[in-house]
Every structure is written in C-alpha cells, then in structure tokens.
Amino acid sequence: MFAFYLPKLMIKKGFSYIGIFFLYILSLLPLPVLHFFARLLYYPLYYIIGYRKAVVRENLVKSFPEKDIKEIIAIEKTFYKYLADLIFEIVKMPTISKKELRKRVVFHNLERIETYFKKGESVLACTGHYGNWELCMLALGEAASATEYVIYKPLNNEVFENWFNKIRTRFGNVFVAMRQTLRMVVATKDRPTMFCFASDQTPVKHETQYVLEFLNQRTAVLLGLEKIALQTNRPVFYFDVKRVKRGYYKVDILPLCLNPKETEGHEITDLLFEFLSKTIKQEPAFWLWSHRRWKYS
C-alpha cells in the first residue's frame, strides 16, 4: 500500500513544481498584460465553466433580498470580472516590486497604528476577504514599521503552501496557522507587533460558539480576534479596503475598539461584522461571494 502511495505523492509534487514554475514565469509579465488575460478568463469562468455560479447566486439573493434579479445578475457579472482580476493580481505577487506595490496599495491613517508601535505597544487588525486582501497584506508588510503576523488557514498542498508563504512574506510579514495564534502572541509579547485577522471565514461546525446576523442571514462566526483582544487588551483596528480602479486599492485604517476590556460579551465581533457589512453594501461585487460562507445556519 505504501509503495503504491509513494509514486502518486511524487507525481503530485512534480505537477505542483511544474505549476509553480509556469506561475513564476507568468508573474514576470506587467500587470496590465495580466489584466488582459484576466478579462479573457472571465468569459469561460462565468459563461462556460460557471465556477460556483449557483453558490454566488444563492449568496447574493439571500444577502440582498431587496434587489431584483437584474441587479443581482449585474453584481454577479462584476464579481466574476473582479475574481478573474484577483487571480492574476495574485499571480503577479512573486515579482511585484516595492515601488509598484506602494503605487497600487495606498494606506490612509497608518499613523494611527504607528503611534502605538513608537511606544513599544502592539495592536490587532481585522478585515474580510474583500478587494485584493492578499496584495494589501503584502503591502502592509512593507508599509508598517512593526512585524505583521497574519492569521490564516494552511493549504492542503504542502508544495504550494510553502511557495505561497514565501510570496506572502516577501516584505516582512509572518504567516501564522490559526491554531498557533495564541502561542505566537505569547512568544512576541515583549515587542511591538500587529496580528491581522480575516474573520469572515466559516468556523468548524462543532466548534461554533457564536451566531450573529450578517447580510440578512444567521451566520456562525470565528471568535479568535475577540479572544485575543480581551486577553491582551490591545486596540483593534479595522482595515476598510476599497477598490479605487482596476489593480489599485485604498485601505482606510479605522479604530474599531481601543479598549477591549471595557466591552461587553461579543461586542468586538459584532462591531467587526457591522463594519464589514457596511464595506460590502457600498460595493457588493468585491467580496468573495464564491466562498460557501453559509454552509449551515
């Protein structure tokens, strides 16, 4: 059995390395060229393959019951164009320069968190899967003076996992597996840091501890951000991402909760999803609607 499994594993790794090689070559192309390929990808992605189209349609219809089907389809089409752009913008990440990254991702009110770093204090940051969160996190590593620890769910493919993390950490970020969060917080408590959470992921069903109203639906949510905030009393900031135009993003850093220990139960989590809901409702197409966010109620 093991002898049969080993060649399959080697073949899988071989294909992964070949895929990584071609992705790197592709990343050498200018982003406007990659955006051209993205527009070509949109048509089969939406009209032929229909990638998770039923999931996207259901999510949109339930989230915006006040919109008619024409409005839903318009958002849906814009989403798939954005999704194709997102794919190729992530492809560009291995070779994008600091200069181009600064031009394409602009942070507003960065001094709000830098004030804490200068005093040797740490902060917490939160956002959702909106806009190009990968590009924004990469840019944050270059823009902020303290080290950013990004909490994430590891990929199943070990080869791609290692490669993708090298890309994500090019400019100083550190990626921390979700279950290692508290351990890393303790290990870095003596220096200024920023732990970043994308809290709109779906928790494991049997570990769900809290459900709230989000986009007109009962939604199971993660409580990791709030737990760390209450344990450390670090101020929490919301990163409000806006897509300015194709390939360009603005990130407003907004105070969400500056004194966590003064809050009541689940107040921080409720505030986060209020902020995120407002972001999504302003321009709905740029959230990750293809994610099976409401697997269970």
In order along its 297 residues, the chain shows pLDDT tens digits of 444 444 665 566 777 778 889 999 999 999 999 999 999 999 999 999 999 999 999 999 999 999 999 999 999 999 999 999 999 999 999 999 999 999 999 999 999 999 999 999 999 999 999 999 999 999 999 999 999 999 998 878 888 888 989 999 999 999 999 999 999 999 999 999 999 999 898 888 877 889 999 999 999 999 999 999 999 999 999 999 999 999 999 999 999 999 999 999 899 999 999 999 999 999 999 999 999 999 866
Residue spans per domain, the chain: 2-286
CATH number at 2-286:
3.40.1130
Spatial separation of the C-alpha atoms in residues 266 and 109, rounded to whole Å: 26
Spatial separation of the C-alpha atoms in residues 108 and 63, rounded to whole Å: 29
CB neighbours of residue 275 within 10 Å: 18
Spatial separation of the C-alpha atoms in residues 90 and 81, rounded to whole Å: 14
State which amino acid sits at residue 97: S
User: For residue 210, how many C-alpha atoms fall within 13 Å in the half-sphere facing its CB?
Assistant: 19
Residues in the chain: 297
